[in-house]
């Protein structure tokens, strides 16, 4: 079972500061794309007209920079990782801004992408699942919820 922390405002602020210091860039504006208790995603706009996506996350999502770096190294069609910062309970990443989505991904597309990522070789600490392994995940999740009750 994966333990999850809550992403508090202090951790968000610390990780944003770490990313800004490392990138040596200061956004003129930030736009919140999505925010919930385990992660937040913002679009940062810079004076030169460029933008980056900033994602701040806590467990179980703190391995995303490793996954993106491995996929970038394999020239996969995913956003380029510009940098990341780690804290004991969190991860901050800056990545390429691909613009506004033309539509929301379907459940089938998300599942196919998850299957592809988990079958990719060379991503440390990411479990590799075949189709049967991915098919078992919903049942395992329900079992975990039952254990909590």
Q: Looking at residue 70, what is its pLDDT?
A: 82
- Kindly compute the dihedral angle of the four CA atoms of residues 2, 6, 11, 13, in this order, to the nearest 10 degrees: 130
Query: Which helix (H) or strand (E) element contains residue 118?
Result: helix 107-119
Query: What is the bridge-based pairing of β-strands 29-35 and 39-45?
Result: antiparallel
> Using CA of residue 94, residue 104, residue 58, residue 132, what is the dihedral sign?
negative
Structure confidence by residue, pLDDT tens digits, 26-46:
999 999 999 988 899 999 999
Between 147 and 126, name the one with better pLDDT.
147
- What's the pLDDT tens digit per position in 44-99? 999 999 999 999 998 888 888 888 888 888 887 889 999 999 998 899 999 999 99
Domain boundaries, the chain: 9-96, 107-148
Q: What is the pTM of this model?
A: 0.75
CA separation, residue 23 to residues 66, 109, 140 (Å): 18, 33, 40
In contact, 85 and 14? CB cutoff 8 Å = no
CATH topology of domain 9-96: Phosphorylase Kinase; domain 1 (3.30.200)
Angle 63-10-19 (CA atoms, 0-180°, nearest 5)? 55
Q: In whole angstroms, give the CA distance from residue 68 to residue 16.
A: 19
Q: Is the pLDDT of residue 1 over 50?
A: no
């Amino acid at each position: 079972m994966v333990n999850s922390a809550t992403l508090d405002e202090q951790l968000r602020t610390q990780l944003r500061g770490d990313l800004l210091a490392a990138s040596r860039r200061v956004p003129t504006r930030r736009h919140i794309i999505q925010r919930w208790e385990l992660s937040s995603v913002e679009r940062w706009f810079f004076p030169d007209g460029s933008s980056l996506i900033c994602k701040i996350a806590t467990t179980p999502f703190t391995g995303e920079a490793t996954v993106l770096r491995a996929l970038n190294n394999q020239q996969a069609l995913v956003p380029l990782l510009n940098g990341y910062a780690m804290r004991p309970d969190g991860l901050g990443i800056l990545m390429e801004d691909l613009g506004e989505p033309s539509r929301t991904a379907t459940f089938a597309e998300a599942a196919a992408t998850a299957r592809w990522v988990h079958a990719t070789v060379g991503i440390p600490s990411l479990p590799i699942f075949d189709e049967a392994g991915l098919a078992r995940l919903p049942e395992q999740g329900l079992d975990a919820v039952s254990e909590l009750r």
